Every structure is written in C-alpha cells, then in structure tokens.
Chain A
C-alpha cells in the first residue's frame, strides 16, 4: 500500500443553519487520509457526514474551515487542475432525463475535450451500449448507476469516488458494482467508496475510515480493524454451565455466562478449553470462535454517536482497539 495520499483533510468542518437559525454540525473537524491505490471504504451511519465530505472535496459545497488536498493539490482552490484525475458519483446519478445515455455522455466528453469516440467505449465497458440511445429517464436504477460509472471513466481518472453506489440496487447489481470497484483498484486506480452497508465494503475494501457525527473515529486496513477483534472470544455450548464456568475461571480465564453458553474472552485457544473441561469430565456440545466482522466493529464504534448510530453490540462481540490516532 502506498504512503502517498490521494485525499487528505485536516480539521474539515461544515455546519448548516436550520430555518430556525440553529446550526447543526455535518462535519466537525474531520482528519481523513485516503492512500493512493486500492479501495478505501468511507464508512459511517446515515447522517455521519460522508456525502457532505465528498461534496466538499468536489467543490460542490463550501467548507466552513479546514484544509483538503486531492493528490497534493489544495481544493477547492486548485480543483480545476486536479479534477481531470477524479471521477465521482455523488449519491444518485443525475443526468439530463430527456437525453439518451449516449447524448449525456457525449456532452460531458465534449465539456472535458475527450474524444467523443470514447463514449461508445465506456458505454461498452459498463454494458450499456445496446441501450445507449434510450432516454435516461427510462433507465433502471442499475443502468443509471452504470451510466454514471461510464461517465467517470471518460476522464480515465486516477481517483474514483463512489457515494453509496449500491443504494437501491438488486443483489446482482451490487455484485456488479463491487466487481467494478475491485477491477478499477486492481488496475492501479484509487477508489473511495462511501457506504453504510458494511458487508459489501468489507468484501472489497483494502482500507477503511469510519466516521460518526462528522469526526473520524477509526481508520486502518480492514484486516487490522477486524484482526484485533479476531483474537477475542470463544463461545462454548455445554450442559452444566455453572460448573463449567467455575472450571474455566479457575484457569485464570475471563468467562461470562450467556444463556446456555459460556463466552471465554482473551484469545484462549479452543483446544485448551476442551482440555480443561474434559479433565473435569465436562464435555462440550459446541465450540465456536466468535468471528468479528467489520459490521460489529462499526456498530461498536458508532454506538450512540448521533443519528443513524446503533445500540451497543451484543455481549460477546469485541470492541476493537483501532480508534483514530492509533490506526495503522
């Protein structure tokens, strides 16, 4: 992974004034680093400030304070110099509804002085060539999303920003988008994908940043964030829970009872657990290492942090140690 940054923000802040004059913080001093190359997941609950951050990076809305760079260029001041290297889809794709897909892309190509012959190439890349002359308003959501991806490819960008790209897509569409993102990253592009659907990001992202209430709360590689938790807990199913708890606690391990299960924390090897219990003629029905996924990390980190955040995770799931500042 490169240490060069595709995107960097420092102290980025944006507030909105409501009709009643009250100010609400959309992004509150965000420090975000997106390395060059690979897929970077930009995660957070709804209302966490992901789209606002992306819009600020693209010069669509003005930051109240803070600094932003894209490939080392300060934005929005020097955005025109770097925008040719950036392709972006912000929320739902928005094109001229009465124009065909081809017409929409042709106009964009002419605006950036790209050869119009490229239009059919990118339409073919996303599998829309046979529907290129249909009106955009007649496209399905998946086709609209694919057209938006085709539009970003007109620039042959080094950085692609996808904001909630799978919203409203069916499973096949989600898989297709995921494949596209991975394919772009494998071709050396940097892909920033914002999402609140963790499972899809986990499958495709190399690094992630998690934000809540407009602040970074964790960042690092997916493996690091999940790996810290993977050292954690083993769930033991056994008939005599109280006695088994005594036996395991006597080994100096942290043991919690949860219904007809025991949860053994601290990275104890399952083999050691079965050995200790068998020595006391206690035999396990079930022995399962509790898998920590990105979703559980995310839920833990964002618990109680503003709109769209979640209640604390169920017992037995691990709280990762990778908060902002100690991320790898």
Chain B
C-alpha cells in the first residue's frame, strides 16, 4: 500500500497538467499579494488633501441640509417600525448621518483584518484547485486507458483506489500551504514595509494564520472528493461539469428557492469552516392587521458543523466511488 502511495505521489508531482495547475494557483496567490500591497500602503499626502476637500464639502452640505435629512430619515424609520412586528429590530442609523473624515480617508490599514479578509476571499481558489487537480489526476488514467494496464500490475482494487485518493489528498497539502504562505508572508512583508503593523506579531498574526491553517486543512478533504469524483465520472471535464452543475442547480437554484436548505449547502459549510462560522438569513413573514410583514431572521452555522459536514461528505463520496470502482468493468 505504501509502495503504491509513493508511486502515486510521484505520478502526481510528475504530471504536466498538474504542474501547470499548481503554477497557476501560485501565480494567483502572487497576484493576490498585490491586493495586500494596496491595503497596507497608507494614504499619500495628495490623497489626504483630496479627502479633506471632499469631507469639507460634505460638511457644508450637512450644515445646510442636515436637519432636514435627519427628519426625513426618522419619519421613514418610524413608519417602518409601525408596520413591523418587531420594531426594535428596525434601525436606519439616522443618528449616524453626520459626515466624518474617515468616510473619505478610509479606515487605517490593519494587517489582521485585511489579510484575514483576503485569505477568506481566496478560499474559493483552494476549493476549486484541489478538486480539479485531484479529479484530473484520477480521471486521466481512465481517459487514457492506463488504469487497465496498471491493474494488471496491481490488481487489488481497494489498494489501488486508496493509494490514488490518499495521494491526491496528501499532494494538495503542500500546494495549499505554499499558496497561503505566499499570501500571508507577502501581506506581512508589505505591512512591515509600510510600517502599518499596529500590534505585536502574535496578536496581528493570530486571525489570518488560523484562517490559513483551516484553508490548508480543507484542501486535502476537497481533493479526496475530487479524486473520488474522478473515479466516478472518469473524465476531467466531467468532474468540472459535476462541480458547476452542483453549484448552479443545488447551491444557487435549489437553495435559493428552499431557504431551509441553506445550512446544508456546500458553500455555507465551507465558509463556516474557513471563517470560523457564518450566518444565513431566512425570511419569515407574518400577517397582522396592517397586512403582511416580513423580516430576515439570522441563523448561524458553526465551524464544527462545517467540519462535520465536509468530513461526512468526503467519506460518503469516497465510499461510493470505492464501491463503484471495485465492481465496475475497466475498459
């Protein structure tokens, strides 16, 4: 088994398409670091001066019309509260309307906040890439027919299956680790360069490092699912098709229509795992004397649920693929 695993890891690392895919992932990570550069750099004197001009103009408008704007705001808020079943939930922020300088200058750079947000925004890449790399790794053997030749050397199908799925999972760990390290390290370097790190290293790094570690942990799980899909559909394009089909038909259309399915959507659970937790909203409507009243009720999906969901999904898909591969004729 370990012999087959080592051979499969070698094959993963040697495939041209996979090498290109890995390079692509790392290039995207490098491009994301450009975003960190922009976030880390403090505003220039010219930007500050321009912002000050805009702020002063807004302040003049406010002094002239502010009272009227606040009155209009409070009138609208009161009308909505009157119609709502839970008036305390209505807040238009009428007392926050006065212009402030930071509205134009932007918030000061924060390595912790900005890098965490950047890594979260890249989690889709670290789902898509392992899925396709692993799917392509396995399905190429079926589309070239080399799996048949391989089985005449290693006929124990369970071992062959496990070696390929495990290899796909293990091989994506360094890819994800290097990818997030580029983003994390690059971002850190820029904030340090601009001297915009506003705390000690430990406090600054804590949140983005945790997100990065969760992304690295997610990669092999998704790769196992991708490899299992490769065994099931036997073509890279079909793996991609299954993924896109799932996204459109289930995640967008079905979950969009049946809101109660949101906690069981893949995207929700991936987000919950990567971000620590996530929220989704269900619209609840009630009918009273004033007519129908609807409001969004927030629900939270915990990180634990995300972990269990992804683990169970990987086990189920991998199990089905193993059963199919053990029984299926190899052409």
Residues on A facing B (Cβ under 8 Å):
55, 58-62, 76, 79-80, 83, 86-88, 90, 92-99, 103, 107-108, 110-113, 148, 151, 155
Contacts and interface: CB of A to CB of B under 8 A. Distances in A.
A110 B154 contact: no
Interface string B1-19: 0011011001100111100
Contact of B155 (A83, A97, A98, A148): A83
A59 B154 contact: no
B14 A97 contact: no
A94 B152 CA distance: 12
A96 B152 contact: no
5 closest A-B pairs by beta carbon, nearest first, are A94-B145, A61-B329, A60-B330, A98-B16, A94-B146
B280 interface: no
Contacts of B92: none
B330 A61 contact: yes
A151 B3 CA distance: 18
B50 interface: no
B152 A83 contact: yes
Given A62-B327, A98-B15, A103-B14, A111 B148 contact: no
Given A83-B155, A97-B144, A98-B16, A111 B149 contact: no
Given A94-B145, A96-B144, A111 B150 contact: yes
B153 A83 contact: yes
Given A55-B148, A96-B141, 14 more contacts: A55-B329, A55-B330, A59-B151, A60-B152, A60-B331, A61-B329, A93-B149, A94-B148, A94-B149, A107-B11, A110-B10, A111-B7, A113-B3, A155-B153
A98 B18 CA distance: 11
Contacts, number: 76
B148 A99 contact: no
Contact of A111 (B4, B15, B330): B4
Chain B interface size, under 10 / 10 to 19 / 20 to 34 / 35 or more: 20 to 34
Interface in B75-134: none
Contacts of A111: 3-4, 7, 150, 153-154
A110 B329 CA distance: 25
A93 B4 CA distance: 21
A110 B4 CA distance: 8
A95 B146 contact: yes
23 contacts: A58-B151, A58-B152, A59-B151, A59-B155, A60-B148, A76-B155, A83-B153, A86-B152, A87-B152, A90-B148, A94-B144, A95-B144, A95-B146, A96-B144, A96-B146, A97-B144, A98-B15, A98-B17, A110-B3, A111-B3, A111-B4, A111-B7, A112-B153
Interface string B192-204: 0000000000000
B86 to A, nearest CB: 58
A46 B11 CA distance: 35
A96 B10 CA distance: 13
A15 to B, nearest CB: 12
Contacts of A96: 11, 15, 140-141, 144, 146
B156 interface: yes
B153 A108 contact: yes
Interface in B317-331: 327, 329-331
Given A60-B330, A110-B6, A113-B3, A99 B14 contact: yes
A59 B158 CA distance: 13
Which of B10, B16, B151, B155 neighbours the largest number of chain A CB atoms within 10 Å of its CB? B155
Which of B7, B11, B153 neighbours the largest number of chain A CB atoms within 10 Å of its CB? B153
B8 to A, nearest CB: 9
B3 A60 contact: no
Contacts of A113: 3
